[in-house]
A and B are shown apart, each in its own frame.
Chain A
Amino acid sequence: MSITNEVLERNKESGRGTLIGYYPAGYPSKQDSIDSLVAMAQNGCDILEIGVPYSDPVMDGLVIQHATEEAIANGFKLKDLFDIIKGVRAKVDTPLLVMSYWNPVLSYGVERFSEDLLSSGAQGMITPDLIPDEAAKWVELSDEHGLDRVFLVAPSSSDKRVENNSKSSKGFVYSVSTMGITGERAELDRLARSVVSRVKSLGETPTCVGVGISTADQVREVNTYADGAIVGTAFVKAYQQGGLAGLVSKTKELAGGLG
């Protein structure tokens, strides 16, 4: 069992629930992103998700698009990702997953990327635009290195795909709460409950819900039926509006939604 699983399980048993926080690597600079991720871990995020800035982030809304564009404009390179992971790891032992679109990984080399994830201290990777059907190499390498491998399930996924994507995942499977891109939504979609219940009925894999979660109430509500709530846009926005202090206060606020 990976330490990601251990955290999810422990938080479930204790009744606390889990908050997973996303933050882009290199935003607005390498050191800032280390500081942000460390602060998120120290103030209530149970699992960290570090986004890899990419030129064509089709699953992301404007807030994250602008942040990752800025990171690239400020000189972010893929090799920096692993320095950032090491920087975070030097301060906190919170499970850390990389979230990356597939082409940067492919370009870096799936094997080399897997090795560097491991050696820098990351637990694994979430792949928003890589479905298990196309992931043979990554499945093989993540198994070999004992890395978490998080695929997505969506409201539109057939039961067969929900089952297959869940079984193909390690750590947890990412339930997409709505049919849309990342960004805050006033009312968390009822679709989230339905996806999660299908994941639960079709297998054992834990599942965390992401896309559109921005309030403490939502974090609490999601944790009543899923294994964790994933928040991205709200954190990035908090940083944009209030810097590190704003991010810390947002983290505390959202973690305050937990039991």
Chain B
Amino acid sequence: MQTNLRSQAGPYFGEFGGRFVAEPLIAALDELEATYLAAKADPSFVTELAELHKTYTGRPSIITEAQRFASQFGDLRIFLKREDLNHTGSHKINNVMGQALLAKRMGKKRIIAETGAGQHGVASATAAAYFGLDCVVYMGEVDTERQALNVARMKLLGAQVIPVTTGSRTLKDAINEALRDWVANVDNTHYLLGTVAGPHPFPTMVRDFHSIIGIEARAQMLELTGRLPDAVAACIGGGSNAIGIFHPFLDDQDVALWGFEAAGDGIDTPKHAATLSKGRPGVLHGARSYMLQDEDGQTMESHSISAGLDYPGVGPEHSWLKDLGRANYFGISDAEAMDAMRLLSRTEGIIPAIETAHALAGIKHLSTVLPAGAHILVNLSGRGDKDMETAGKYFGLLEDK
């Protein structure tokens, strides 16, 4: 196996990645890449972002050992990287603050974003408010309904939320609509893409902004336990929180990496969002990667109770890690995720996002493949406040209105 996995900087990860977009966007991607590379090498940018994370995002995020939760699975130690404690309630803010600073550098006064669960939309609206930028968030109509609280948050923060009524009316179509807006308004607009999919430089840049999760967690685990964990686990839709925590461990060959995809009704049913387990390589939203498609190359609709994982594509670096065998990807059904959501809530007093609950549900599988006494680091990517409507209905906690 290659030992320099961490040094991959795009545009390609093996045969994945690239820039499969219309020519009108190429200049903007070139500008973004040049701006990003210059910023990355500029100590004042690095300092400014670090300061923002310290004073605004709330970094470093802590590690919580989940003993009561772990005891359900036998002889394991489970450590939660608490991205749910970040400002706005998820890991999404890490990338958003970085890209908002880049938008400022490029002199762009308007940002647009897509959102599934609303976490990235809320983070983008937050950054726009903080930096004084105009913000438009595209959100599938289906998602505006199941994540109504996040819609209200975005609006309160001053963003315009545009429900997308085309296609499957979920995250995939929100990205299409954001790309259409970007083509038309590229002069004054930055597309603040929220995941590690899309054309280069997004997969690399978004990964870099999120790798702070893994950098902190790796050091925290060494300090806390005196060694690296045996496995790192994360949920995966587009793959931003997963790559953020995986990346600093890529060259630690003894650390197993596990991404838990949404298997919806079940991995062997047609209704799932398990792109890496069930898809095949193709081009979607500007990059070559695994995707769910029919025999004609038409994108298939994904299904998940979790709006944030309900996406038929995935970041190209994950496709590469899968094919290399460096990371493992495994499907978790809606029911398994909801059980894990309730279990963590009742054993640890932490209500995770439904997205994150997929990673927690994965522990059951890990307990069968890891040795006794294994240490598992889980990216607790977001909190579940936004999911109370869904969870309330699912568990029958809400009185009929």
In the assembly, what is the distance between CA of A59 and CA of B22, in Å? 7
The answer to whether the Cβ of B28 comes within 8 Å of any Cβ in the partner chain is yes
Instruction: Say whether, besides A156-B28, A157-B27, A58 and B297 are in contact (CB < 8 Å).
Output: no
Instruction: Say whether, besides A106-B297, A107-B296, A58 and B20 are in contact (CB < 8 Å).
Output: no
Q: Are A176 and B176 in contact (CB under 8 A)?
A: no
**Interface of B, helix, strand, loop or mixed by DSSP:** mixed
In the assembly, what is the distance between CA of A57 and CA of B299, in Å? 11
The answer to whether the Cβ of B167 comes within 8 Å of any Cβ in the partner chain is yes
Q: Are B284 and A56 in contact (CB under 8 A)?
A: yes
A residues contacting the other copy or chain, number (CB 8 A):
41
Closest beta carbon of chain B to A33's beta carbon, Å: 16
The answer to whether the Cβ of A72 comes within 8 Å of any Cβ in the partner chain is yes
Which of B180-188, B215-223, B260-268 has 4 or more CB atoms under 8 Å from chain A? B180-188
- In the complex, chain A residues 105-155 whose Cβ is within 8 Å of any chain B Cβ: 105-108, 128-131, 133-134, 151-155
Closest beta carbon of chain B to A72's beta carbon, Å: 7
In the assembly, what is the distance between CA of A134 and CA of B187, in Å? 24
Instruction: Say whether, besides A56-B299, A78-B296, A157-B27, A103 and B19 are in contact (CB < 8 Å).
Output: no
The answer to whether the Cβ of A102 comes within 8 Å of any Cβ in the partner chain is yes
Closest beta carbon of chain A to B163's beta carbon, Å: 15
Please indicate the chain A residues that have their CB under 8 angstroms from the CB of B179 in the complex. 58
Please indicate the chain B residues that have their CB under 8 angstroms from the CB of A102 in the complex. 20, 283
Q: Are A154 and B20 in contact (CB under 8 A)?
A: no
Q: Are A107 and B282 in contact (CB under 8 A)?
A: yes
B residues contacting the other copy or chain, number (CB 8 A):
33
Residue from the list B18, B24, B296 in contact with A77, Cβ < 8 A:
B296
The answer to whether the Cβ of B304 comes within 8 Å of any Cβ in the partner chain is no
- Nearest to B280 among chain A residues (CB) is A107
Closest beta carbon of chain A to B35's beta carbon, Å: 15
In the assembly, what is the distance between CA of A134 and CA of B286, in Å? 11
Q: Are A54 and B26 in contact (CB under 8 A)?
A: no
Q: Are A157 and B26 in contact (CB under 8 A)?
A: yes
- In the complex, chain A residues 174-225 whose Cβ is within 8 Å of any chain B Cβ: 176, 178-181
Residue from the list A61, A103, A158, A179 in contact with B284, Cβ < 8 A:
A103
Closest beta carbon of chain B to A220's beta carbon, Å: 25
The answer to whether the Cβ of A55 comes within 8 Å of any Cβ in the partner chain is yes
Q: Are A108 and B297 in contact (CB under 8 A)?
A: yes
Instruction: Say whether, besides A107-B282, A107-B296, A134 and B26 are in contact (CB < 8 Å).
Output: no
Q: Which 6 A-B pairs have the closest CB atoms?
A: A107-B297, A154-B24, A156-B27, A152-B23, A180-B184, A104-B297
